[in-house]
Amino acid sequence: MSKAKIIFYKCVQDSQDYGSDDEHMVSRVFFNLEIGEETFEGLSANIKQAVGSDYDTGQIEASQPFGYEGEFNHHAFRDCAEKFYRSCVGSEGTGIRIGKGAQNIRMRNNVHIKEMICEFEIGGES
C-alpha cells in the first residue's frame, strides 16, 4: 500500500466562483499531494456544506481532487479536508471564529492561508 501526504495551504471559504447558492456553501481547499516519490502540485477540491448548518458539526462533502486522477482513498481525504476547513472556519477556526448560537451569518470569498499536513494509506476506498 502507498501512503499519501497532503499539504493543505489555502482555503477560499464560501466562494461564489465555485458554485455557492442559497442551499449550499461551496468552498475550495488547495493542496499539494505526495505519493511515494511523486509530487502533484497545485491541486484543489470543493468543500460543500448546507447553508445555515453548524460550522462545527454540519455535514461536509468533499469533491475528488481536481488535477489528480490516480489511485486514491477518498474517505480518508474527505476527513483530512474537513479537518483543514474546520481549522479555518468555526469555533476552533484560526481564521474566522464563529461561536455557538451564531445565526444568519453569511461570509463569502474569505481566503485563509495556512498549512496543515495530513497522511493516509491509499489502498482503502476510492
The pLDDT tens digits of the residues spanning 25-55 come to: 788 999 999 998 999 999 999 998 876 666 6
Sheet holding 110-121, edge to edge: 60-62, 38-50, 24-35, 3-13, 110-121
Q: Which residue has the cell 481525504?
A: 77
pLDDT at 35: 94
Residues 6+ apart with CB under 8 A from 26: 14, 15, 18, 19, 20, 46, 47, 48
Task: Give the model's confidence band at 15: pLDDT under 50 very low, under 70 low, under 90 confident, else very high.
Answer: low
pLDDT at 95: 46
Among 10-14, 32-36, 78-82, the minimum mean pLDDT is found in 10-14
Q: Which residues in 57-77 are b (16+ Cβ under 10 Å) and which e?
A: eeebebbebeebeeebbbebb
Higher pLDDT, 10 or 26: 10
* Residue 79: its H or E element: helix 74-88
Report for 7-16, 50-59, 114-123: range of highest mean pLDDT = 114-123
Residue 76 has pLDDT above 60, yes or no: yes
Domain ranges of the chain: 3-121
